Structure 1
Amino acid sequence: MARGWRADWRARLPARCEVCGDWPHGPLCPPCRAELAPWVPRCPGCALPHPDHVNLCPTCQADPPPWRVVRARLDYAYPWDAWILRLKTAAGLGLADALAQLWLDDPTVERLLADADGWLPVPLAPVRLAQRGHNQAWSLMRALARRTRTPPARAQVLRRNPTAPVLHHLDAAGRRAHETDLFTLEPHALAWVRGRHLLVVDDVMTTGTTLRAASQALRQAGAASVAALVLARTPPPGAQGGG
């Protein structure tokens, strides 16, 4: 009884900023938010920084992605890389609300959400889901839905192939080689997918292979269009991490 009372009492206390320790501005104080999460225009095809957030960069013009548009809010760099790693654990689930709020600071995200009539998270492999106990993409999506007027969200649409390799062990060429192996659709979701403008949500975009595979699977199943929303984009080699 006393232990439960102490936990409830602590939950009601103001929290410190997770970055600078300022009190009472947890988990992210306004100065850290302004300095470390500035809005950066990004290519709608690859989500890398690009002066024009409307038109594709030269690389994406030469090799257009299967999604209509992808938006990323942050670089996968300090301090967000550590936050996202913590989000993958039960102890870090409390960061989902603050991270989802950063999406709404992006002037391009409101239109992206409005254009979608269905949201779905990128699924984890069954073994990984069992280890973590939750899917961080679903946690972020639910946190975002609490702040917006959300369309129907579905957790069980895409199914990750249990025999597909773990992508973070592979280089870019290896990832692309396994694109078609990653996802299938749950049979019960086929009718729901057809004709819908879908938004795929994930935490991090590294090379785009996961999103490419998910988008291709959805389009082949009859989705009218696919867009993607990720929290962070891995910078290209040699780039300086920032917002």
Structure 2
Amino acid sequence: MLFPRLRLWPQQQLARILRGMPSCCALCGQNGKRVICDGCSKHYFADRPRRCAQCANPLPQPGGASLLQCGNCLKQARAFDATIVVCDYAAPVDQLILALKFRGQLALAPVFAQMLRDAMLLQATVARLELPEILMAVPLSAQRLQQRGFNQAHEIAKPLARLTGIPLRHDLLQRQRDTLPQSMGLDLEQRRRNLRQAFAMAPAASAKIGGRHIGVVDDVMTTGETLHALAKTLRRHGARRITNFVFARTP
């Protein structure tokens, strides 16, 4: 059994988590008991395009050689090894992420986690995905955390850890300075300069990641530069393998 620790939510526990959510689909507004109705699930989340194994960008449909990496990852090395995503960051799914991130709809986080767990199971079937030994969320700076009141990546990581049985650590990396949002139209060099020395290893954390496979959880991956910068820090301190688990990927 590839994922003996993965489990479904007990119905009572899931009901408690989703309490307070409207009794209608968060995407189409149709009345029902599911946060995302069956119709929207099939329409927006059933498609599984071929993706780059490293950064999860969509790949061309098979026609010739079977590609494992996109052109960007072949040209420029990434510090992380693999990326698992649920869907593309596109309308109307992007509104779910904005609702979690900027409107504080935290009850959406376990729904994202359930879908990420399902994506992990799919990859376990088709590519024998190796399960990480530790999960962590992309950290926010102290200033951004104070402004928002929560870290949306950590809110997704908590139920994902419970679903998979993988320990979640919040004491590995620190975001030592606030950075401009990577979605602000910065070019590649500006994005890298923006993230330079953004992450630092927490005191005594190196011993916890040395030789380990680390799973990094985030809500959205745009160019991958934030995850690349974070992975470089983990690599410097001995991480053996790094896999990103991200809800949505900007193509």
Q: TM-score, normalised by structure 1?
A: 0.83
1:76 Cα offset (Å): 0.8
Structure 2 residue aligned with 1:84? 97
1:146 Cα offset (Å): 2.7
Structure 2 residue aligned with 1:154? 169
Amino acid of the residue matched to residue 54 of structure 2? G
Look up the SS of the partner of 1:49 in the other structure: coil
Look up the SS of the partner of 2:105 in the other structure: helix
- Taking only the aligned residue pairs, the percentage that are identical comes to 36
**Unpaired segments of 5 or more residues in structure 2?**
1-15
Change (3 A) 1:67 1:35: same
Please, which of 24, 40, 43 is the counterpart of residue 52 of structure 2?
43
Matched, 1:17 2:25: yes
* Aligned equivalents of 1:75, 1:13: Cα separation in 2: 24
1:183 Cα offset (Å): 0.6
Structure 2 residue aligned with 1:140? 156
Matched, 1:189 2:189: no
Kept in 1, the 8 Å contact 2:137–2:157? The answer is: yes
Q: TM-score, normalised by structure 2?
A: 0.81
1:128 Cα offset (Å): 0.8
* Aligned equivalents of 1:83, 1:164: Cα separation in 2: 24
Look up the SS of the partner of 2:136 in the other structure: strand
* Aligned equivalents of 2:118, 2:55: Cα separation in 1: 20
* Aligned equivalents of 2:223, 2:118: Cα separation in 1: 24
Please, which of 188, 194, 208 is the counterpart of residue 172 of structure 1?
188
Note the 1:1-150 alignment, pairs <5 A: 11=19, 15-38=23-46, 39-50=48-59, 51=61, 55-89=68-102, 91-106=104-119, 107-108=122-123, 111-112=128-129, 114-148=130-164, 150=165
Change (3 A) 1:146 1:79: farther
RMSD: 2.5
Structure 2 residue aligned with 1:4? none
Deviation per CA, 1:110-160: give whole Å up to 9, x if none.
754x52101110001111101111111011111222322x22210121111
**Unpaired segments of 5 or more residues in structure 1?**
1-7, 236-243
Amino acid of the residue matched to residue 108 of structure 2? L
Change (3 A) 1:220 1:32: same
Amino acid of the residue matched to residue 219 of structure 1? R
User: Hey, which bits of structure 1, 4+ residues long, moved more than 3 A?
Assistant: 10-14, 51-54, 109-112, 163-169
Alignment length (residue pairs):
225
Greater shift in the superposed pair: 175-184 or 200-209 = 175-184
